[in-house]
Amino acid sequence: MPVDLKDIASIAGMSGLYRVVSPSRNGIVVETLDEKNNRFVAQAKHRISLLSEISVYQQNTEETLPLAEVFDRIRRQEGQEIKVNPKSSNAELTQFMETIVPDYDRERVYISDIKKITGWYNIVSKHVPFTEAGAEENTTPEPETAENKTETATKTK
């Protein structure tokens, strides 16, 4: 996956994104994803959403597109800095989303969701490393042995 979002969380009612550090007796310890790296305990009363569990609805299908894949598409098309932000006009946000995920479900993905995606991308692109997809493709393949063939066959099934 292009970017690892399993330890990145959004907390309802609080701006920014947070890295999950460890569990605690009263909740989980999180730290802000900014230069301050403030730590605090997010308690059970906070609604915490891990970004790895968020996805975008697509039209005419029950399939969803994971947020990490959406971020990878943004990175490939726009780079680290994107032209839109959560304060952009609704028309600009809609056009941006259409270029990134052309088949997103316009009835279930609201402008507020697109605003969150753009805001989150701006934070993630600065503080979470993206892995380069090409780095895996440029490696030299191992010589084929009977063991490698069996392992490859089970992975492709």
What are the pLDDT digits (tens) for 60-101? 888 899 999 999 999 999 988 899 999 999 999 999 999 999
Does residue 154 carry a pLDDT above 80?
no
Spatial separation of the C-alpha atoms in residues 94 and 104, rounded to whole Å: 10
pLDDT given at position 96: 96
Mean pLDDT within 17-32:
92
Q: Which two tokens stand for residue 107?
A: 């009835």
Q: With pLDDT > 90 as the criterion, what percentage of the chain qualifies?
A: 57
Question: φ, ψ for residue 11 (rounded to 5)?
Answer: -115, 120
Would you say 33 and 8 are in contact if contact means Cβ atoms under 8 Å apart?
Answer: yes
Cα dihedral: 92, 98, 100, 105 (round 10)? 120
Would you say 17 and 123 are in contact if contact means Cβ atoms under 8 Å apart?
Answer: yes
- Residue ranges, CATH 2.30.30, the chain: 8-51
Q: Which two tokens stand for residue 141?
A: 């393949």
Residue 3's SS3 state is: strand
pTM of the model: 0.78
Instruction: Report which residue type is found at 20.
Output: V
Fold category of 8-51 in CATH? SH3 type barrels. (2.30.30)
Would you say 10 and 19 are in contact if contact means Cβ atoms under 8 Å apart?
Answer: no
Confidence of residue 132 (pLDDT cuts 50, 70, 90): low
Confidence of residue 153 (pLDDT cuts 50, 70, 90): very low
Q: Which of 21-30, 87-96, 102-111, 133-142 has the lowest mean pLDDT?
A: 133-142
Would you say 34 and 127 are in contact if contact means Cβ atoms under 8 Å apart?
Answer: yes
The domain made up of 53-131 is a member of CATH 3.40.50.720 = no
Q: How many CB atoms sit inside 10 A of residue 150's CB?
A: 10
Within 8 A by CB and 6+ apart from 60, the residues are: 103
**Residue 139 or residue 61, greater confidence:** 61
- Return the DSSP state at 113: H
Nearest CA among 140, 128, 118 for reference residue 2: 128
- Residue ranges, CATH 1.10.10.1650, the chain: 53-131
